Amino acid sequence: MQSFDIITLFLLLVLPAYVANAIPVILGGGKTFDGLIRGKAFGSNKTIRGFFSGIIFGTLAAFAIAMALPAYMVMPYVIFGFLSSLGTMAGDLLGSFIKRRLGIEEGRPFFLDQVLFIIVALGFGYPVLGGYYTAGLMIAILVLTYIFHVLFNVIANRLGIKKVPW
């Protein structure tokens, strides 16, 4: 296996998930998951289009990144990107489901909003690139993801892309 410096490895492990997490804010809308079921399981911001656009664009980001990797890493990385993107969207839905079960209103902040998506994304991607995971790197990913998530949500709110800054 190839060895990567820590910053490159950090970026390789998080970029597909970060793209998948951001795209629904831009491309979401349309029919909600709640519209498919009875009740309010996820909330009005969790849409089918947002879910699938996150998976598609996260995977496309992985494909683009993979073009700069050695040939033997291209297919595993694209698979990782797909699994990570799927995990991102599953983690986002799970977080909304937990919030609804706890009675937290839509649009209200919840500590899992910032990190659950990356935890599930890395879990989904573990079978492919788990050999690169270290405890220190996972802690760095969690801490930096929390900081980046808060920062970019504030920016998206100020730009009018998001209704709330969290």
CB 27 within 8 A of CB 89: no
- Per-residue burial over 27-63, b = 16 or more CB atoms within 10 Å of its CB, e = otherwise: bbeeebbbeeeeeebbbebbbeebbebbbbbbbbbbe
**pLDDT per position as a tens digit, 100-157:** 889 888 878 888 888 999 999 999 999 999 999 999 999 999 999 999 999 998 998 8
Phi, psi of 32, deg, nearest 5: -90, 160
Beta bridge partner(s), residue 32 = 47
Report the pLDDT value the prediction gives residue 130, as an integer from 0 to 100: 96
Examine the pLDDT at 80 and tell me if it is beyond 70. Answer: yes
* Residues 82/59, Cβ–Cβ less than 8 Å: yes
Half-sphere exposure of 94 (CA within 13 A, CB side): 15
Is 81 within 8 Å of 62 (Cβ atoms)?
A: yes
Q: Which pLDDT belongs to residue 28?
A: 86
pLDDT at residue 77 above 70?
yes
Q: Could you give the CA distance from residue 163 to residue 125 in angstroms, rounded to a whole number?
A: 31
What is the structure's pLDDT at 2?
A: 62
- Residue ranges per domain, the chain? 6-158
- Output the pTM of the full model: 0.90
Q: Centre a 10 Å sphere on the Cβ of residue 119 and count the other Cβ atoms it contains.
A: 20
Q: Is the pLDDT of residue 1 over 70?
A: no
How many other C-beta atoms lie within 10 A of the C-beta of residue 18? 22
